[in-house]
Structure 1
């Protein structure tokens, strides 16, 4: 039986192009207040629109877009979409793939101890079926921990809700200070050096940056044959 891990890691990912501005601000901002901070936006326009209209039914309320989103596990459905869009050359969306994405890693325990306002979900926050909770002790049963640990999480005939549950989120209201991060993760050693250089350019101490290729899909662009 797979239970809630201790500590319970949470991870937010962003394009490496955004890291310099994030370091300058010293925090992550919610989608509704991020403004020009994002040099490269990897989010899907239609999903972001739904999140701006999806109310959070428990305190501190507001809408999903008013929170900084974190996942409880790597290789999320969102990252899968990004990797597939790159592989397939899908028009009208971000096509850079998941290789340039950097994970910013913290834990539920750190956020809770810091007294920040947060809300957890049992699945994709853009879906009406998803439920929310602000109770720390409810996380053990709210989130489908075995599914989050599974390598394959696609919907199957006997369970057509797996993809939604695999996208369970931990939402931090308005802002997330970077001093609550445990470290960063990237796909390759080359990206690791890039992240360290961003910190050096900002005059900051180099952080812990782990190379975690298993946290990525890494699909290559398909050749177009005519």
Structure 2
């Protein structure tokens, strides 16, 4: 018997900033010697992307194993497949073959995050629509069987910086040879370093997808995605974290309802990690549901 979906309560998708409208210039005031310079009001502040939320989707059956390991692992680092694997085998192969621009590593060596709780691949699961990127296990699961592991851009970047500064990471290594991407980078571009996130403007395995793979280009890519007028591109975009994400960088577990929240809290009791567990029904209902 097919389960009846609860009605969508409201929209909790993250608000996207709109392009700020410049304030009209007024007549130029007379400058008085010794007076403080007037504050410019015709320049919009740059979008601060630090608090952009990022979302990693997993089946609730995988949560206990993730907590035991203490981290989210990139696909290539997994020694045992998840209890419920979301990605189809063909998708895993494509991401294994795709390379992150400016890096010699594959997309499969990164932990993927959505930039919206309404990402298109997640919408396919919520709406029970066929999607070649998804495994049959994902197609056969109800939306409330999944949980969202949530963090922010700042939390991830600060965590990676702390790991890079740890004593065991301080030993000098042989300098990596300059790549073509490094050689072509503008002089003011921050070079890519180990432990740097990458941001895409679409499916990371897509042949036309562009990457922001240095701190500066990743920030610019996020600003572009957040400023997009119709907010469509951000639904396919990804933030990629190299190798692994320690669970202490996950600040929130989003769930569909109170029953799932109690189940997740029970799983968390056996671990050292205590993120907030919150019920966000709109994250788990298809956008086609009535408001």
What TM-score, normalized by structure 2, do the two folds share? 0.63
Q: Aligned ranges for residues 29-68 of structure 1 at < 5 Å?
A: 29-36=73-80, 38-59=82-103, 61-68=104-111
2:263 equivalent in structure 1:
194
Q: Which moved more, 1:79-88 or 1:47-56?
A: 79-88
1:157 equivalent in structure 2:
none
Q: Is the contact between residue 73 and residue 148 of structure 1 (CA under 8 Å) also seen in structure 2?
A: no
- Distance, in Å, in 2 between the alignment partners of 1:148 and 1:214 is 22
Cα drift, residue 119 of structure 1: 1.2
Structure 1, unaligned runs of 5 or more: 154-161, 220-226
2:24 equivalent in structure 1:
none
Partner of residue 280 from structure 2, selected from 180, 205, 212: 212
**CA RMSD for the aligned pairs?**
2.8
2:3 equivalent in structure 1:
none
Q: Is the contact between residue 123 and residue 286 of structure 2 (CA under 8 Å) also seen in structure 1?
A: no
What TM-score, normalized by structure 1, do the two folds share? 0.79
Aligned length: 204
2:33 equivalent in structure 1:
none
- Distance, in Å, in 2 between the alignment partners of 1:87 and 1:57 is 30
Larger radius of gyration: 2
**Alpha carbons of structure 1 residues 97 and 218: separation in structure 2 relative to 1, 3 Å:** farther
- Distance, in Å, in 2 between the alignment partners of 1:198 and 1:16 is 10
- Distance, in Å, in 2 between the alignment partners of 1:206 and 1:169 is 26
Cα drift, residue 123 of structure 1: 1.4
- Distance, in Å, in 1 between the alignment partners of 2:229 and 2:156 is 20
- Distance, in Å, in 2 between the alignment partners of 1:111 and 1:13 is 16
Partner of residue 254 from structure 2, selected from 179, 185, 190: 185
2:209 equivalent in structure 1:
130
2:64 is the alignment partner of 1:10 = no
Instruction: Give 3-state SS (helix, strand or coil) of 1:99's partner.
Output: helix
2:161 is the alignment partner of 1:118 = no
**Alpha carbons of structure 1 residues 48 and 203: separation in structure 2 relative to 1, 3 Å:** closer
- Distance, in Å, in 1 between the alignment partners of 2:67 and 2:241 is 18
1:176 equivalent in structure 2:
245
- After superposition, what is the alpha-carbon deviation per residue over 1:83-119, rounded to whole angstroms, capped at 9, x for unaligned? 233799xx97121032111111111111212224321
Q: Is the contact between residue 50 and residue 152 of structure 2 (CA under 8 Å) also seen in structure 1?
A: no
Instruction: Give 3-state SS (helix, strand or coil) of 1:106's partner.
Output: strand
- After superposition, what is the alpha-carbon deviation per residue over 1:188-224, rounded to whole angstroms, capped at 9, x for unaligned? 1111111001012x154643111111112259xxxxx
Q: Is the contact between residue 124 and residue 167 of structure 1 (CA under 8 Å) also seen in structure 2?
A: yes
1:27 equivalent in structure 2:
71
- Distance, in Å, in 2 between the alignment partners of 1:179 and 1:149 is 34
